[in-house]
Structure 1
Amino acid sequence: MVNIRTVAVIGSGTMGAGIADVAASHGHQVLIYDIAADAISRAVDGIRARLASRVARGKLSADASGQILARLIPVTDIEALAAADLVIEAASERLEVKKALFAKLADVCPAQTLLTSNTSSISITAIAAEIRHPERVAGLHFFNPAPVMKLVEVVSGLATSSEVTDALCELAMNWGKQPVRCQSTPGFIVNRVARPFYSEAWRALEEQVATPETIDAALREGGGFPMGPLELTDMIGQDVNFAVTCSVFNAFWQERRFLPSLVQQELVLAGRLGKKSGKGVYDWHADRPAVQWSASVSDSNPVRVEKISDSVTRIDELLLIETQGETAQSLAVKHNRPVVVVDRIERDVAVIAAAFSNPDSVTRKAIGYLQQQGNRVVQIADYPGLLVWRTVAMIANEALDALQKGVASEKDIDTAMRLGVNYPSGPIAWGERLGWQRLLTLLENLQRHYGEERYRPCSLLRQRALLECSYES
């Protein structure tokens, strides 16, 4: 394999500049290519500013900063990229643009030059299909900001050689990154497995289950995710997030579990793109609306509490049931008594829904009980699976589907989701801990409730649930 000394980065936007920063900081001469010289200048100025900040904080010496900057070489003639041992393309996310660019690179660069794309979802197989030596083409997908985020997805197209992916994984580790290997499939690992995190939040918003701030608080404070899904799409940019969802949806032949949201489309059409435009789901020029937590219940009348099982508690005549994907009202009819369902409690936040037929005084008993356990309580509409449980179930199901179809190993899927989007746990490890049978039951109940293929459990989930039951017996 070629010894990688000179790295070319195509594109001087945020990702291109970040990748150039990483490569130069690890001793490589870096050719920054763009058709616009002023764009390269802005990229280098941005890198200079970041380095200056590190020097000011004592994280880098002034001499080292100067050496890094000296390794950055602006290039506006693509023929100059013939000197590169590795090319990393970080340009437009359009297949026809990438195919034309890689065809040119294949003509310009020697056969041993590794040609890679930082694409987040476009097929590496398609990019490499019509060029000479397609075995040297791979995906090298960094996460934003590239100098900070540890994860790099190393993506193999149909023709990519194992020697090329081995070399790219070794290079990523030398750059202080954690590489994960995956096959070229829509969304690769992270942008595929993460889709339910967003789509289930959009669905809850569409069905007017709760306010955006409540949905975000449930996933952030109740589920342990670093950000709520709606605020995260505002940070990413509604246009960017919506485009990735549409790309994955269409690439999977309109598979319903990747269905884009009409509410998100409306935001994009209105130019409400999130933080960068000032408005999205939230108004970024105003204070964030507060979550309407339930008022403290201070009923002096004693209640009789009995633990029926790990997921069911009787409080006088009321059943408090941890959700398994059925509505509180359907459970109230089934048990012929008042029911309150409660979401998965990872921290000190309890999201609940009450049966319509419950007297308010009875529902308040559940609120008071949960508050006595040290939880802040918020009540939402009667919604099957609530917010955290159904989101985690969908993410774990998608992770298992990717595993079963050979996209990546179990270890790499979990690593990718922890490092790429900072999930509190890898989804497969999470599913193992929560129980596969529990997740299977929840998804089957959701599928029955909606009558949609969207919630179809994958076959590997069914297999793991069966194995779990056989071990327990």
Structure 2
Amino acid sequence: MTALDKNSLVAVIGGGAMGAGIAQVALQAGHPVALFDNRAGGAQQAVQGIVHQLERQVEKAKMTESFFDDCLSRLHSVESLGQLAHAGLIIEAIVENIDVKRTVFQDLEDICEPTCILASNTSSLSITALAASLKRPERLVGMHFFNPAPLMALVEVISGLATDESVAECIHATAIAWRKKPVRARSTPGFIVNRVARPFYAESFRLVQEQVSDPATLDALMRDAGGFRMGAFELTDLIGHDVNYAVTCSVFDAYYNDTRFQPSLIQKELVDAGRFGRKSGRGFFEYHDGAVKPEPKVLKASGGFDRCVVEGDLGAAHGLVARMGKAGIEVVLRGGSGLLHAGEAVMAMSDGRMACQRAREDGLQNLVLFDLAHDFNQTNRLAITWASNTSEQARADAVALLAQLGIQTSAVADVPGLVVLRTVAMLVNEGAEVVLHGVSSAADVDLAMVAGVNYPIGPLAWADSISPKAIFDCLEHLQASYGEERYRPSLLLRRITQEGRRFHD
């Protein structure tokens, strides 16, 4: 299917930040663009804002004067929906209220030509429900941009039950022509990103609730070890807890209170207190003048090693072996089950069991567990924990070895799956559910999470890189430890593990 012709008028309903951003994207892609807003002067104000953004690009030599003039000639505001009768595509970007949106689309359907595509930028409402009241529901599609639209690459193209396949294909092709990275999804609560991302927040919130560690340390671990741009606490402070909590509650309700999406009492308390984050001056952290952000907790290290023993395959942590070699440490390789010996310490990457459980079940003394990292060749921080019978010297030896490799260690309580591993496992699990239920493909799930929320790698590709079985085992151990359906492994993950294949095979 070909993209929308560049001579076709693109109209945007809603002159807020998102609507103006979408209009700017279409404008810079070469379309004539019309903006409508029902607020007096709202559309004109949005146009002025777009012009200002384009002027800044000219000043930075990112846009030529001639292209700037061309854009101005194609951009205008309108005072009524009736002036959009000849539009080829109309994108609605107004308040997230299904009744208001339905009314707008019903009005547009009576005004526009039959070939006009109607699109909603909704982030959470059902495209099927929005289209149900239309005479021609097949021409309504979801076109969900991410804020700020001119900068964020992802566009979720959402098909409702009645959406014509050719309409969705046209919007997908149009998004590519607009230099975006579109993904296809079926209309289900949260689509891809707002659904798959829920565990990123939920697991960190739970770790604080269980007093595993503090927000600053957990954020640092997710950034430095996990490779994420921000940790859950600083990110939700930025988003606004009122907004983030509302989305979580919406997804939780939409999935009939499935515990995978259960909202956090920790976050609810912040919302109840009016501590919404940056915009209110206080959330998990404080943002008033002179406020100092807490530093992550780090264990002090002393000493070092000339020789270590590695038993078996360290799996995802095999990069540590190369780092030991570069640090001048002699590495003795032996058969075994993935253990690293440094002085008195018996070290292993977490498999989802608590250290106390693994030490007892595997008959290990002085066990120290370390967390998953996105890249063990590069990471400069890891979470560690230990069994209660682990000696003080063994703990010190584990910290000393990692410090010798250039890795700071942050101690956390003995909790199943530690920090990064359990979060990644839950992201993988939700991504697998999206694929299992035919909402989207594995490739689009990964693209959505990288392009939409800047994950270091797509969750399913991450599972492939460390083995789906390792993720499956972690989830089974989490479920056994908590006794909750929240951690049940996806049937697709179970199937892939049993078949010995990967998500992208």
- With the length of structure 2 as denominator, give the TM-score of the two structures: 0.89
Distance (Å, rounded) in 2 between the aligned partners of 1:40 and 1:313: 63
**Alignment-derived partner of residue 290 in structure 1:** 295
Distance (Å, rounded) in 2 between the aligned partners of 1:244 and 1:371: 40
SS in 2 for 1:276: helix
Distance (Å, rounded) in 2 between the aligned partners of 1:49 and 1:168: 28
**Alignment-derived partner of residue 101 in structure 1:** 104
Distance (Å, rounded) in 2 between the aligned partners of 1:447 and 1:91: 41
Question: What are the equivalent positions in structure 2 for 1:393-472 lying under 5 Å apart?
Answer: 393-468=425-500
Q: Does 1:321 align with 2:348?
A: yes
Shift of 1:317: 4.5
Distance (Å, rounded) in 2 between the aligned partners of 1:156 and 1:218: 37
**Alignment-derived partner of residue 321 in structure 2:** none
2:371 maps to which of 343, 359, 381: 343
| Cα gap change, 1:336 to 1:23, in 2 (>3 Å) | closer
* Contact 1:151-1:419 within 8 A present in 2 as well: yes
Name which of structure 1's ranges 22-31 and 302-311 shifts more when overlaid on structure 2.
Answer: 302-311
**Alignment-derived partner of residue 401 in structure 2:** 369
SS in 2 for 1:186: coil
Shift of 1:340: 1.5
**Alignment-derived partner of residue 323 in structure 2:** none
* Contact 1:437-1:469 within 8 A present in 2 as well: no
**Alignment-derived partner of residue 223 in structure 1:** 226
* Contact 1:36-1:76 within 8 A present in 2 as well: no
* Contact 2:24-2:50 within 8 A present in 1 as well: yes
Q: Which amino acid counterpart does residue 289 of structure 1 have in structure 2?
A: P
SS in 2 for 1:125: helix
* Contact 1:20-1:32 within 8 A present in 2 as well: yes
Distance (Å, rounded) in 1 between the aligned partners of 2:270 and 2:41: 32
Shift of 1:201: 1.1
Distance (Å, rounded) in 2 between the aligned partners of 1:165 and 1:96: 23
Distance (Å, rounded) in 2 between the aligned partners of 1:112 and 1:239: 39
Question: What are the equivalent positions in structure 2 for 1:49-448 lying under 5 Å apart?
Answer: 49-285=52-288, 286-298=291-303, 305-309=308-312, 310=314, 311-334=338-361, 335=363, 337-345=365-373, 346=375, 347-448=379-480
**Alignment-derived partner of residue 26 in structure 1:** 29
SS in 1 for 2:500: helix
Distance (Å, rounded) in 2 between the aligned partners of 1:42 and 1:434: 50
Distance (Å, rounded) in 1 between the aligned partners of 2:275 and 2:204: 18
Shift of 1:303: 9.0
SS in 1 for 2:280: coil
Paired-residue identity, %: 44
* Contact 2:384-2:412 within 8 A present in 1 as well: yes
| Alignment size in residue pairs | 468
Name which of structure 1's ranges 431-440 and 93-102 shifts more when overlaid on structure 2.
Answer: 93-102
Name which of structure 1's ranges 271-280 and 83-92 shifts more when overlaid on structure 2.
Answer: 271-280
- With the length of structure 1 as denominator, give the TM-score of the two structures: 0.94
Shift of 1:90: 0.7
| Cα gap change, 1:466 to 1:313, in 2 (>3 Å) | same
Shift of 1:453: 0.5
Deviations 1:368-390 (A, max 9, x none): 12212221111111111011111
* Contact 2:370-2:385 within 8 A present in 1 as well: yes
Q: Which amino acid counterpart does residue 323 of structure 1 have in structure 2?
A: S
* Contact 2:47-2:76 within 8 A present in 1 as well: no
* Contact 1:115-1:136 within 8 A present in 2 as well: yes
Distance (Å, rounded) in 1 between the aligned partners of 2:125 and 2:19: 17
Distance (Å, rounded) in 2 between the aligned partners of 1:265 and 1:290: 25
Q: Which amino acid counterpart does residue 347 of structure 2 have in structure 1?
A: L
Shift of 1:349: 1.2
Q: Which runs of 5+ in 2 are unaligned?
A: 315-337
**Alignment-derived partner of residue 46 in structure 2:** 43
SS in 1 for 2:183: strand
Q: Which runs of 5+ in 1 are unaligned?
A: none
Distance (Å, rounded) in 2 between the aligned partners of 1:161 and 1:7: 19
Deviations 1:256-315 (A, max 9, x none): 11111111122222222222222222212323211121112237xx79743223242234
Q: Which amino acid counterpart does residue 298 of structure 2 have in structure 1?
A: W
Q: Which amino acid counterpart does residue 16 of structure 1 have in structure 2?
A: G
Distance (Å, rounded) in 2 between the aligned partners of 1:428 and 1:444: 18
SS in 2 for 1:37: coil
